[in-house]
Amino acid sequence: EFLDRSNKGDRRYFKRVKPTDYEFLALLGLALWNDEISNLNETLLQISMRNRAMIVREVHSYYSQQGILGYAGRIGQIYCVLVYYQNNGLEIAEDFQMFLLQGVFKEQFDLKCEPECAI
């Protein structure tokens, strides 16, 4: 069910926003350089924030070069898609934990790992 929920939402957001290739790459970059992870050390947090700022500057340049005026709403839509995917990822992780508690994946995750396989 959670995969179906995810798939429907994905299509709905992409149909509405229709990100360009450049915007899609910006979305990927912003998702990968997530600065909302609480256990990041200060150095990694600074790197992440710097890279996210660089991505946003590039998107602003892209819109300027394309002659798109008033693109604040468009950037807002892109951020909404990003937040949707972040929340969706959290829901999938929660569902997965629930399945583990119910023993749905018991056979797959009940492996005993010897020291030599933990490389």
Are 90 and 98 in contact, with CB atoms under 8 Å apart?
no
pLDDT tens digits, one per residue of 62-100: 999 999 888 888 899 888 888 887 777 666 667 777 777
**What's the structural domain count of the chain?**
1
5 pLDDT band (50/70/90 cuts)? low
Q: Which domain holds residue 23?
A: 2-117
Distance from C-alpha of 85 to C-alpha of 114, rounded to nearest angstrom: 36
pTM: 0.66
Interhelix angle 72-102/2-17, nearest 10 degrees: 170
